[in-house]
Amino acid sequence: MNLKPKSTSALLVGFLLIFFFSGLVVAEQHSLGQLKIGNETIIFPWAMQYIPDIYSPHSSSISLSIPTKDDIIMNSTNSTAMVQDLSAINSEKVRDLLYNDSQNGDPKYQGVFNTVGISVSGNGKDIVDGWASKGPKNKYIEQLADKASRLGVPQRNATAEDQKFSSEKRDPYGNYLGIDVRGISVSAINTMDGGSAVATSNIIINPVQIINLAPEVEEKLR
Amino acid sequence: MLSVPVMAQQGISGNGGVDILGQNGGIFETEGSAFRFPEFQDTNAGSVTVGNDKALAFGNAWQKSPATFATNNLEIKKNQDSGVCTCCSSGNASCQDCCIKVNIDQIKIGSRESMAFGFASATNNAKIVTNQQ
């Protein structure tokens, strides 16, 4: 008589345990084997059995997300850029940065002076070896351009006519250019069998500085 | 065109700076050396500093072929042209410049690391072309 309640309670406990563990298994299918980093989700290999057929080992070059492409355009008026680390996790990402500009003489200096500082820096710019922080950067170019613009370089073959032409101020003459690219980091992580990850950073910097005086200016500078 | 004519032996500014336009009259000093050149010149000065770049690729070990690529491409192509001029007459007392040109270019490449794990490829490409005239 005393055995019946015991067997009933044991059955109840058994059902509860089965229900509990089955719930865990369902939860595992959605949470374990996946790691969320920001907007990216890494699916670890041991979770592959829960991935739909399109991610089977027979499919090649499959990405979890749509390939993305960023374009950054720079010029002499927008010559500084800070970029984030480029990271592709089971995906394809491309970033193009292009500086393509020409200076033909600053009118402020009667077309005889060009200066520009181009800087592209990433997140890790000062991390490795302290190289960046110890480096000369473009200090001397900055100083040089500063002095040139502040003091002015004696203009060529100065004559009384020239002095009249340029009044009190002497004009700097030359091209001054500094380019600084540092701390650009690119990483690609592939965690899927048959998957792919591609991260590409393209930085193209093509500055041109030309002093091409108009004939009347050239004549006055003689 | 005249390249840098004389190595400066003295009178160099001691703070590691540049004094091509200052009191020392035509001295350009960099980290390792200093140069003196005529005070009246057509100058092209350029500086390129590149470094601390990284490319990292983590592929899985069971991949049959590399499908993980991290590529860091850098191309710098700069042109500086200080123009042409006609040399003035030597009889002219105010003629201080006979179209002398000075070209200064300093390029420094720092560390560029690439690391690949598993079936993966990590590449750093750098191409630098400079022209001064």
Whether residue A128 is predicted with pLDDT greater than 50 in this model: the reply is no
Residue B114 is predicted with a pLDDT of 92
User: Number of residue pairs across A and B with CB atoms under 8 Å?
Assistant: 246
Confidence of residue A5 (pLDDT cuts 50, 70, 90): low
Query: What does the pLDDT look like over A151-187, one tens digit per residue?
Result: 444 444 444 444 433 433 344 578 888 999 999 999 9
Residue A70 is predicted with a pLDDT of 92
Which structural domain, as residue segments, surrounds residue A27? 1-31
Query: What does the pLDDT look like over B79-129, one tens digit per residue?
Result: 999 887 666 665 665 555 566 778 888 898 888 899 998 889 999 999 999
User: What's the whole-model pTM score?
Assistant: 0.63
Nearest chain A residue to B16 by CA distance is A140
Residue A137 is predicted with a pLDDT of 42
Same domain, A9 and A45: no
Same domain, A82 and A14: no
Query: What does the pLDDT look like over B27-61, one tens digit per residue?
Result: 566 666 665 555 556 788 888 999 889 999 998 87
CB-based contact A183:A85 (threshold 8 Å): no
Least confident among A82-96, A101-115, A208-222, B107-121? A208-222
**Beta-bridge mates of residue B7:** B35
| Residue tagged 């499908």 (tokens) | B67
3-state secondary structure string, chain A?
Answer: CCHHHHHHHHHHHHHHHHHHHHHHHHHHHHHCCEEEECCEEEECHHHHHHCCHHHCCCCCCECCCCCEEEEEEEECCECEEECCCEEEECCEEEEEEEEEEEECCCHHHCCCEEEEEEEEECCCCCCCCCHHHHCCCCHHHHHHHHHHHHHCCCCCCCCHHHHHHHCCCCCCCEEEEEEEEECCEEEEECCCCCECEEEEEEEEEEEEEECCCCHHHHHHHC
Task: Tell which of B52, B73, B102 to mutate to test the A interface (max A CBs under 10 Å).
Answer: B52
Mean pLDDT, rounded, of chain A: 67
CB-based contact B39:A154 (threshold 8 Å): yes
Label the pairing between strands A197-210 and B27-29.
unpaired
Whether residue A220 is predicted with pLDDT greater than 50 in this model: the reply is yes
Q: Which residues, at least 6 apart from B118, have a Cβ–Cβ distance to it below 8 Å? A: A190, B58, B59, B60, B61, B63, B68
Same domain, A75 and A124: yes
Residue A51 is predicted with a pLDDT of 39
Mean pLDDT of A189-194: 86
Residue A116 is predicted with a pLDDT of 87
Same domain, A25 and A63: no
Instruction: Tell which wins on pLDDT, A54 or B118.
Output: B118
Instruction: Tell which wins on pLDDT, A139 or A197.
Output: A197
3-state secondary structure string, A92-149?
Answer: EEEEEEEEEEEECCCHHHCCCEEEEEEEEECCCCCCCCCHHHHCCCCHHHHHHHHHHH
Look at chain A and report how many structural domains it folds into.
2
Residue B86 is predicted with a pLDDT of 61
Q: Is the ipTM of this complex over 0.90?
A: no
**Beta-bridge mates of residue B53:** B112
Question: B1 — contact with chain A (CB < 8 Å)?
Answer: no
Confidence of residue B70 (pLDDT cuts 50, 70, 90): very high
Residue A98 is predicted with a pLDDT of 96
Cα-trace Rg, chain B: 23
Instruction: Tell which wins on pLDDT, B77 or A27.
Output: B77
Residue A141: phi and psi, rounded to 5, are -65, -40
How distant, in Å, are the alpha carbons of A38, A59, A146, B56, B67 from that of A191?
A: 16, 15, 51, 14, 10
| Chain B contact set for A205 (CB, 8 A) | 75-78
Same domain, A120 and A38: yes
Same domain, A26 and A126: no
| Residue tagged 């100065």 (tokens) | A158
Q: Which residue from B54, B104, B99, B80 is spatially nearest to A207, judged by alpha carbons?
A: B80
Q: Which residues, at least 6 apart from B133, have a Cβ–Cβ distance to it below 8 Å? A: B1, B44, B80, B81, B82, B101, B103
Same domain, A204 and A99: yes
> CA angle, A93 as apex, A67 and A43 as ends, to 5°?
75
Same domain, A21 and A54: no
Same domain, A22 and A37: no
Q: Which two tokens stand for residue A5?
A: 């309640």
Q: Do B67 and A127 touch (CB under 8 A)?
A: no
Same domain, A89 and A173: yes
Same domain, A102 and A2: no
Min distance A26 CA to chain B CA atoms (Å) = 27
What percentage of chain A exceeds 90 in pLDDT? 25
Whether residue A196 is predicted with pLDDT greater than 60 in this model: the reply is yes
Same domain, A24 and A39: no
